[in-house]
Amino acid sequence: MGEESPSQEIFQDRLRAARKIRGMEQSQLAAKAGLPAASISHFEAGKRKPSFDNLRRLARALDVTTDYLLGNVEDVGLGAEGQALYRNVEKLTGSDRTLAEGFMRLLASKGRADPKDTE
């Protein structure tokens, strides 16, 4: 096999980084994306490149954009799920935005709470 192109290396790094940011093992990402677990390993190792359809599946499963995975943008950004959450933000008043932001922080931290804190 020849040398990897810079874009292939970027994809490998971004896929691995996004998976870790989302707290997923390769097998979990594979299940969520509807792909064989070996495919994720091959993609991250640079042994194979995903088809366009599989790229979209990976992006959806990780809730990132395909542009992020391909190295076209630096920010992980929001995938389809995240965009749906913010679709109507511009319609909120300033105080409602502040309230919504606090609520989102509360929900995000809820899953990370120490189990001893809830006893």
Residues 40 and 71 in one domain: yes
Q: Which two tokens stand for residue 114?
A: 């120490």
| Three-state secondary structure readout of 64-107 | CCHHHHHCCCCCCCCCHHHHHHHCCHHHCCHHHHHHHHHHHHHH
Angle between helices 6-21 and 52-62 (to 10 degrees): 30
pLDDT bracket for residue 116 (50, 70, 90): very low
Residues 71 and 88 in one domain: no
Lowest mean pLDDT among 25-29, 44-48, 52-56, 112-116: 112-116
**What span, in angstroms and rounded, lies between the C-alpha atoms of 101 and 45?**
38
Integer-rounded Cα Rg, in Å, for the chain is 17
- The parent domain of residue 60 ranges over 6-77
Q: The whole model's pTM is what?
A: 0.62
> pLDDT of 74-98, one tens digit each?
766 555 455 555 566 667 787 887 8
Residues 69 and 89 in one domain: no
